[in-house]
Amino acid sequence: MLEWQKRRFREHWRRKSGRGGPGRPVIDAEVRELIRTISRANHTWGSPRIVGELGKLGIVVAKSSVEKYRVRPLGSPSPSWRAFLDNHVKEFVSIDFFVVPTVRFEVLYVLIVLAHERRRIVHFNVTADPTAQWTAQQMVEAFPFDTAPRYLIRDRDGIYGEKFRLRVRSLAIEEVLTAPRSPWQNPYAERVIGTLRRECLDNVIVLHERHLRRVLRSYTDFYHQWRVHQSLEMDSPDHRPVQPPGFGQVVEFPDVGGLQRHYERRAA
């Protein structure tokens, strides 16, 4: 074919294909943002499923367009540990031990059982000789009459022996074990233990087991009724209603032997 004929052929088809504008029609910005939103919220969805979901909303787009605008996760599509905790917060409790020395240099062990949803200390107890059997009994006392949670977070301490595991299994509780040397995987229990130390036990000389139990009982009463928590939107584990100025003057009340205080409005 002569060179001039080739040129005429190219020009003919260039004019013909250019009449409707180049490429596919531009997708609306609102649809593009919707594709990104759906893909961020549903990491396991592929492009065909997003196309199908958009179709049910009356939006017809090509799979290639979804591929272009969808947001792909940078890491693993499986949920993170934090997301796992957040998704099951109502079904979780945590347990952990911490030690308290007495005035006579004895070591007492405190077991804390914490419900995640409202940060409630549902049970605690003190012993000088923790065993798997003693720890198993604490689970029964913490969750009587079919009140057991679905999941129990704990570390891999040897105190949680065979008797403990059998008792937990009999309560239909599934154990979630943290990784070795990873206290951050049991954050709520670690946080409440830190709170107990800073606000109470670091300021008390413990005399003996009964004394420690009495101090902890006094503090947990204050903790549940009066202490506000950022994670609860500045509420207490036992809901604390707001008292408007019309209720009266602000009055200070001591708690935990004067270590803590709470404030209420009382009519004159």
What is the rounded CA–CA span in Å between residue 244 and residue 240? Answer: 13
Question: Is residue 66 a contact partner of residue 50, using CB atoms and an 8 Å limit?
Answer: yes
pTM of the prediction?
A: 0.69
Structural tokens at position 114: 């914490």
Question: Is residue 251 a contact partner of residue 263, using CB atoms and an 8 Å limit?
Answer: yes
Q: What is the DSSP string of 171-236?
A: TT-EEEEPPTT-GGGSHHHHHHHHHHHHHTGGG----SHHHHHHHHHHHHHHHHHT--BGGGTSB-
CA 243 vs CA 98, 141, 169, 240: distances in Å: 36, 35, 44, 9
The overall longest dimension of the chain from CA atoms, in Å, is: 109
Residue 26: the pLDDT is 75
Q: What is the DSSP string of 50-110?
A: HHHHHHHTT----HHHHHHHPPPPSS-SSPPHHHHHHHTGGGEEEEEEEEEE-TTS-EEEE
Residue 14: the pLDDT is 75
Structural tokens at position 100: 């308290």
Residue 134: the pLDDT is 97
Sign of CA dihedral 23, 29, 34, 37: positive
Nearest to 28 by CA among 1, 5, 56, 54: 54
Residue 73: the pLDDT is 72
Question: Is residue 121 a contact partner of residue 113, using CB atoms and an 8 Å limit?
Answer: yes
Residue 39: the pLDDT is 86
Residue 22: the pLDDT is 56
Residue 21: the pLDDT is 56
**Cα torsion through 183, 184, 187, 191, rounded to 10:** 70
Residue 45: the pLDDT is 84
Contacts of 249 (CB under 8 A, 6+ apart): 265, 266, 267, 268
Residue 85: the pLDDT is 63
Any bridge partners for residue 95, and if so which? 113
Split the chain (268 residues) into runs of 10 and give each run's mean pLDDT.
70 69 72 89 84 87 89 66 67 95 96 94 96 96 90 94 94 93 92 95 95 97 93 91 89 92 87
CA 140 vs CA 94, 134, 171: distances in Å: 15, 10, 8
Residue 146: the pLDDT is 84
